[in-house]
Amino acid sequence: MKLVFLGPPGSGKGTYASRICEQKGWAHISTGDLFRENLKKQTEIGMKAKKYMDEGALVPDDIVIGMLKERLEKDDCKKGFILDGFPRTIPQAEAMEKITDTDVVVNLSIPDEVLIEKILARRTCEKCGDIYNVADIRFGPNKEHHMPPVNPRVGGVCDKCGGKLVSRSDETKEVIENRLKVYRKQTEPLIKYYREKGLIRDVDVTGPPSIMVPKILGAIGEE
Ligand code: AMP
């Protein structure tokens, strides 16, 4: 299956995509992770992307599209994949159509006030990119939705690889607010774009990954 996950920063795209891909044997393709890897290795792409990432702005389309095209050619994509964080603009979506077709687009919704709290509490493994969250969040009109913390077994240490858990450098309040603004302006128009193509499945984020993963699998007909 070829999937796109749409949703504002902090909606949980990376966490849900990683768990679903692990279950299904699909490739999890996060353009944000690809940029962070390039930055670590100080490649030309990483150096070009850095200033945009630091500000919470989007990296120019031609750089992202070239990087994605190369990634989709790898063998692990043959069984299926989830694109997490791509496309983020209409021109990216149009370019993608020339590279691959798309079966379903999952549109994750979550209130803004929850997003900021959630992103500030996110901890990412600096080695393998695994994601944790130290916040205990209740929201909804009657606080009926609960997102308990996703803690590692040992504080500050990744369960999967033993790497150190850190806050990403683009996870300050100022940069997060800019990333949300950029999402509303440049990425949200994709919801209408894909809805008109009949590809959207709307999913409200209402709980921890143990609730969200089966909910998303149900929405895409893969339960
Ligand atoms: P993410 O990990 O998805 O939040 O992405 C982190 C940063 O990488 C973003 O704030 C952008 O600067 C950059 N980035 C990731 N994916 C894209 C994309 N599809 N288009 C442009 N910039 C991107």
How does pLDDT run across 94-130, given as a tens digit for each residue?
Answer: 999 999 999 999 999 998 889 999 999 999 999 999 9
Whole-number Å distance, alpha carbon 52 to ligand 1 midpoint, is 9
- pTM comes to 0.92
Predicted confidence at residue 150, as pLDDT, reads 93
What pLDDT is recorded for position 169?
A: 86
E strand spans, the chain: 2-6, 27-30, 81-84, 104-109, 122-125, 131-133, 137-139, 145-147, 165-166, 200-204
What is the pLDDT, as a whole number, of residue 24? 97
Instruction: Dump the DSSP string for 48-69.
Output: HHHHHHHHTPPPPHHHHHHHHH
> Residue 170 pLDDT more than 90?
no
Structural domain that includes position 90: 2-219
- Per-residue confidence band for 223, with pLDDT thresholds at 50, 70 and 90: confident
pLDDT reported for residue 113: 83
User: For residue 35, which atom of ligand 1 is closest to its CA?
Assistant: 8
pLDDT of residue 112: 85
- CA angle at 212 for the pair 207 and 213, rounded to the nearest 5°: 150
Q: Which of 64-68, 75-79, 112-116, 200-204 has the lowest mean pLDDT?
A: 112-116
Q: What is the CATH number of the domain that holds 186?
A: 3.40.50.300
For the cut 90, the answer to whether the pLDDT of residue 199 exceeds it is yes
Q: Which of 13, 36, 71, 123 is labelled catalytic?
A: 13
pLDDT tens digits, 141-156: 999 999 999 999 999 9
Confidence of residue 62 (pLDDT cuts 50, 70, 90): very high
Tell me, what's the pLDDT at 82?
A: 98
Is the separation of the CB atoms in 20 and 123 below 8 Å?
no
CA distance 29 to 40: 17
Give me the chain's average pLDDT, please.
Answer: 95
DSSP state of 133: E
Among residues 133, 136, 154, the alpha carbon closest in space to that of 145 is found at 136
Do the beta carbons of residue 168 and residue 122 sit within 8 Å? Answer: yes
Strand partners, 108: 203
Q: How many domains does the chain have?
A: 1
Minimum CA distance residue for ligand 1 atom 14: 32
Catalytic residue among 19, 36, 122, 123: 122
